[in-house]
A and B are shown apart, each in its own frame.
Chain A
């Protein structure tokens, strides 16, 4: 156990240069953006003097190294700065918006798994059959559509034409008030206080954006499931199990699927971090108050602090996620030590 602990801390140590790299690159990238935030935020009729005053207030009159030193200093004390476009501290913006993105991403990931894993298993049990091809075409079609396009089409059909879906106005219909924040996930928070009608309302709002995102992620999950199942099914121990007269279903799920899980979990981790970045566009279409739409808006108006804060948060999340996957790995398959490689 202590070995595992040591390995974990080693992994965290390895992540340090990555985080430093992210801080530096995001700083340089934001400064390279063409906009001048001072002019933008000085307002429509500002003159030279007031722009200069704002530039000074924002600390933009200093040299880059100075600005960087100030930024890092604040960062070390946990201060991500203040977003100009929302007028709030970036930390509190992220704290309210990250759960929205995570909830959307997780729900769509669950949805995608619920469809893609059975499809993958099905395809793997009948490789080369029409079912296999159909699965392949289905999931490939999903990944071939730009998410913003799928989103608008879904809104058009299910909200505008048919009226099945609730109005695409973010996380809750306006008549509901957000449940008291414990985790920031509306589904969980509403369940905690037992407010099931808000829970249902939050779920309804989730359906369309989650479907949009899930469609896009079916392919990698289904593909990996199929491939992993195929190689598991062709393994010696399966042949042995079959020869020993075990039922097909038992072999499939108790033996093959268990062994196929490992690569699938890895894929899930990658897909998750990819989705967090990719739902930028979905959030924009569905007025979803997540970090993705936040980052886009911030980037367009050169809101330095907000962009840097967002990138840093995502990077930390990414590092944490990789750690988590490694841990899950060693739990699923105890033979794999938590090697620090």
Chain B
């Protein structure tokens, strides 16, 4: 919104451009539709689910998909379809919370480093290098193992390994603009450093960051799934796609493919959506990349 203050004509053209891109790029349009479906699952999943996702019934354990259980049942006889639906909310929450957290922390750190430079920049740069030098998945594992496997800790771990990407991005964007004309002008107009940074310079970093956000959302879901595979996922009996795939993976060879396949497809669907969305957003915010 603040962006509009400086470049008023652009907002309209951005909208036009977005519409143009959507029309021109059916894949992005589909991605938005898929995203809407995901949101629907997250918001209304528990209402639409035909069964209680936590209710076990060992009499119908490991039954293949049928009219009663569309996606079959798992080893405790829980309805896989209901669990897949209900899990959407938690999975989206984990990824959105993790990305939001890394977005905020990364932005603050990156903006400070990019704007003031000096020792802040140096220290932060080395710190980020250090985190990046860790094998990221193993770092996440270590954090969750050390703090205990709760949803919050999975979010923190994912946020920590994502933060350097945002911080670097913001630092670069802020750094090249800190002496730009509009920033100088804003400063001369009596705005404080913080104000100039937050409302004048930082918004310019938003478009590339949005792309990063949507790519990271998918990556965060995969990361949580990987943690589940090692056994460091959310606590049972909570339905979560990664846990379901990880547990179901043991049933594939014995022929009960549906236990892993459907949550796997849901997971893939979500990550796929976020990735396509990221690609599409890139096309919208950065027209130079499309010619």
Contacts and interface: CB of A to CB of B under 8 A. Distances in A.
Report if A and B touch in the complex (beta carbons < 8 A). yes
A140 B279 contact: yes
B142 A18 contact: no
Contacts of B129: 17-18, 21
A219 B275 contact: yes
Given A127-B291, A141-B268, A310-B138, A299 B276 contact: no
B32 interface: no
A282 B33 CA distance: 32
Contact of A21 (B130, B242, B245): B130
A34 B132 contact: no
Interface of B: 24-27, 126-127, 129-130, 132-139, 141-143, 145-148, 218, 222, 225-226, 229-231, 242, 245-246, 249, 252-253, 257, 260, 264, 267-269, 271-272, 275-276, 279, 288-291
Nearest to A134: B27
A160 interface: yes
A231 B142 contact: no
Contact of B229 (A30, A141, A281, A315): A281
Given A21-B130, A299-B141, A234 B291 contact: yes
Contacts, number: 156
Contacts of B139: 29
A146 B245 contact: yes
Q: Which 9 A-B pairs have the closest CB atoms?
A: A277-B135, A21-B130, A144-B271, A32-B146, A315-B133, A144-B272, A144-B268, A318-B133, A314-B135
B25 A281 contact: no
Contacts of B27: 133, 136-137
Contact of A314 (B133, B271, B272, B279): B133
B58 to A, nearest CB: 25
Interface in A116-170: 127-128, 133, 136-137, 140-141, 143-149, 152-153, 155-156, 160
A22 interface: yes
A300 B242 contact: no
A127 to B, nearest CB: 7
Contacts of A307: 142
Contacts of A201: none
Interface in A29-65: 29-30, 32-34
Contact of B291 (A149, A230, A274, A276): A230
Contacts of B137: 277-278, 280-281
Contact of B289 (A136, A152, A160, A227): A227
A311 B135 contact: yes
A160 B290 contact: no
Given A25-B130, A148-B229, A307-B142, A223 B279 contact: yes
18 contacts: A18-B126, A21-B127, A29-B142, A128-B25, A136-B27, A141-B268, A141-B272, A145-B264, A145-B267, A145-B268, A146-B225, A148-B229, A149-B245, A280-B138, A280-B226, A284-B229, A299-B145, A311-B134
B267 to A, nearest CB: 6
Contacts of B146: 29, 32-34
A145 to B, nearest CB: 5
A296 interface: yes
Contacts of A155: 253
Given A148-B229, A148-B245, 15 more contacts: A18-B129, A18-B130, A29-B142, A32-B147, A128-B24, A136-B279, A144-B218, A145-B271, A146-B222, A223-B279, A231-B288, A231-B289, A233-B291, A277-B135, A307-B142
